[in-house]
Amino acid sequence: MISTLLPHKSAGSSLRLRYKMSIPILRILQDYASTEDPSSIPPSVRLRHTATTLTIFDKYPKASYHFLILPRINNDAGWTKERLTDLRTLLLKWDKSSAKELLKNLEAEAEEVKSMIKDEMRKSHGLSESSDGWGVNVGFHAVPSMLHVHLHVISSDYVSASLKNKKHYNSFNPELGFFLNLKDVMSWFELPDGEFKKMASLPASQFEPLLKKPLQCWRCDTTFPNIPKLKEHLQDHLNKEVKMLKRKRKREVQDDEETTEKPEENEDEPEHKKVNTDA
């Protein structure tokens, strides 16, 4: 159902400075990940779960589709809340093979969620069954705002009432560097140990200044003086992309109709000789 993937109606900001966030809010993801029976989590919060992951709606989505995939806490298996505090802790304080296995679980779940998003794009906008819709980005914030490792699965339109300021946008801009694509993170495991540790250290001093960079469209590099202007521009991009995808769908329907209406040739009927008009 289309309503399954609709974001929450509440407004606000999921990216806040740590000292402004209360402890209960800071730990809410840990609470969800600790739930022994995820099916008890309200459907307004939980999208789906597996034996190792829990996928929830981002309460304040920064795009048309925005979800968080959490590794579930399992003390018996060694996946404690301390071990899963954030990406840096996961990568540096525990063995690489276990960390890689956990990330691969998140990656597999992300593919499932992406598939659901693409399906909803097709249904809600009347796109072709073969259409891939528009982009979906999968990655982490270099400096997270909440406790517990969480992977963002977010559509690339960045059209949302909850996207309200420069930090919101820049934290998800896929070209800026604060948003770490999951595939890039996975590639770190192929590096020598020294390089791996350097990449995984994720110093706040390196990444937090990126949030103050000018507002720049990730698609066309146009710079904007304020968030309303940028949001209007992003909406235009989305409108054009959907319009283009709908035109493609219309052409496919017309081609199908022409193919259906074209009479089939009777292979058993002998070919008529051409009339020589020059005689």
d(CA 233, CA 229): 6
Helix axes 227-261, 96-125, angle to 10 degrees: 70
Give the position of tokens 């990730």.
218
Surface-to-core class of residue 159, CB atoms within 10 Å of its CB (0-12 exposed, 13-18 middle, 19+ buried): middle
Q: Is 168 a catalytic residue?
A: no
Buried b (16+ CB within 10 A) or exposed e, 124-154: ebebbeebebbebbbbbbbbbbbbbbbbbbb
Of 66, 148, 150, 152, which one is the catalytic site residue? 150
d(CA 216, CA 219): 9
d(CA 197, CA 278): 85
> Catalytic residues, which ones?
150
